[in-house]
Structure 1
């Protein structure tokens, strides 16, 4: 392996075509060398549109390419673990979309495969590589906010198409798996600890059988995360990090535009409504580019992987606990 990592893209999924591939193509040490589909014509079309050198009409053919160092897996949730394990067994490192698995038990089979092969496996939570999130974490940890004891997160969109994979229960659909996972991951990122217990409420869509509204209270040693995520609500996202001295609002916390500045508000509470809040603006930065290069550098041995597979499994345990808590009507330990 040289100074760059040759990536193969496992499927022509929308998130890959529209966000991750163009971003990784701008990376310093990431090169998108091939893409695969279950259909050769589909792979050829995507490769031509995106300027990718090679296209394969099967996933197996991509994994057999000796020139490919690593695989990005944006397949539907139920295929994350099976195809990531196949990639590892083919000698490829893996960057897999979130959530890493259908549940923590399944994720542990991927951990066993990683340990068996000795290769890098990372979960694609791109927000942790965004400069504005890194700034929020730094401000919280250096005491600018005082004692941070509450994080409030809202994340929603409207999608009622039963043919969309996010609305299919058998393959890991639903809002908690798709977007609620971000609320959990960012709170764990900011506090650097794991939750103690979880309470949850889940409303299921009666026709599609997926969770369309989920809310949770997640108790951490440092304080409380409260979040609501919904797949049949007005599109919205916001994170508020609250301390004893100040609070921070992350204005576009998750789907930040790669080509426009991003902002956070720092409010010391001197005027209601945040009228005297200070705005910090960040130059355009593609969090997917930064994620790809961070994982590539770990593969190249140039830097440690900050968020290893164990982190992904810990996040999955909290998701599992929210579902259990909602079903039982009790507090559950992750």
Structure 2
């Protein structure tokens, strides 16, 4: 009989409460057994809410808990590397929220620690575990839209709360870190290659100093291109369009598809502008966070390769670094 992974959660982040803890609690191979917060009362409240056995009043106490097999790290971005390294030093694999680091140099320290510990570490790009992305990648690879040449992506929401970590520049807030990373990650997935150069236009909030509106252009091998816009102060919007030489593929809800309702992909062969060549592909409901939790548990239990391990994380982080450099220099930058 396959054992289950006993998870510990660092902090009481919104994404943990809204999506990840419920997903782990309903997963095949895991259960959240402990949660930690620097505010013990808050940890206790979260534990009671989700039926978690133990609450800790410090992150260190959770990491030292011998009854925990793996850690989920959704702390503010500036704590991702340090707390993940500390977890590895306690012998615990880590699923860490994106971005897993603030720059590639910082990430290399984590990669060295992971190599020394020889334990799984993954960046929590839950979208990679949703079948709509697996199907999209297959459709592109099969040539259903001809040669895929261009991707347009937008990902935005409106958030002006100064207390929210996404609006605090000193701890890694801003749109490129929070949602622009998805545009980069999924374009790398669909093209199956790494960008050769990148250029960005970035506008900062005058109070928060975070990037609230960022657009980027990336050139991939064979002249393929990604154009994306991300924002923390635009209306809620998500869309991905992949255009090829013989058609296009649309992903209407690419990053936060509902867990309890079907999603769809749209293929169009481009024969006209009225939808004459339109085909819808329906994907049955999937909780991508649950799929992510089980995939990480399988990596621990069976040695299954990680979808977004540190090698993939380094590649994505180098592109983010290049975009920030470009926004400052006004020139193309090489990841």
Q: Is the TM-score greater than 0.5?
A: yes
Structure 1: runs of 5+ lacking an equivalent: none
Aligned to 1:41: 41
Map residues 246-325 of structure 1 onto 2, 5 A cutoff: 246-274=247-275, 276-325=277-326
Q: How big is each residue's C-alpha offset from its partner over 1:282-320, in whole Å with a ceiling of 9 and x where there is no partner?
A: 111000000111111011124222321111111011001
Please tell me whether the aligned partners of residues 101 and 316 of structure 1 are also in contact (alpha carbons under 8 angstroms): yes
Residue range with higher mean Cα deviation, 286-295 or 274-283: 274-283
Q: Kindly state the Cα deviation for residue 201 of structure 1 after the two structures are TM-superposed.
A: 0.4
What is aligned with 1:100? 100
Q: Report the Cα distance in structure 2 between the residues aligned to 1:328 and 1:273, rounded to whole angstroms.
A: 43
Residues 189-228 of structure 1: matches in 2 within 5 Å? 189-222=189-222, 223-228=224-229
Cα distance, 1:80 vs. partner? Answer: 0.4
**For the residues of structure 2 that align with 1:79 and 1:273, how far apart are their CA atoms?**
50
Task: Work out the number of aligned pairs and report it.
Answer: 334
How far the C-alpha of 1:55 sits from its partner, in A, is 1.3
> Quick one: distance in 2 between partners of 1:297 and 1:72?
15
Q: How does 1:107-186 map to 2 (within 5 A)?
A: 107-186=107-186
- 2:251, 2:265 within 8 Å by CA — same for their partners in 1? yes
Following the alignment from structure 1 to structure 2, what is the Cα–Cα distance between the partners of residues 180 and 112?
26
When the two structures are superposed, what TM-score results if normalisation uses the length of structure 2?
0.97
Partner of 1:74: 74
324 and 27 in structure 1: CA distance in 2 versus 1, 3 angstrom threshold:
same
Map Cα deviations across residues 249-302 of structure 1 (whole Å, 9 max, x no partner). Answer: 101001111111111111111220545411111111000000111111011124
1:325–1:331 contact (8 Å) kept in structure 2 = yes
User: Is residue 22 of structure 2 the alignment partner of residue 22 of structure 1?
Assistant: yes
Deviation for aligned residue 1:3: 2.2
Deviations 1:7-40 (A, max 9, x none): 1011111100110110111111122111111122
The two structures have a TM-score, normalised by structure 1, of 0.98
In 2: Cα distance, 1:208 partner to 1:38 partner: 25
| C-alpha distance in 2 between matches for 1:43 and 1:2 | 29
Q: Distance in 2 between matches of 1:110 and 1:206?
A: 33
- Using the alignment, how far apart are the partners of 1:131 and 1:176 within structure 2? 25
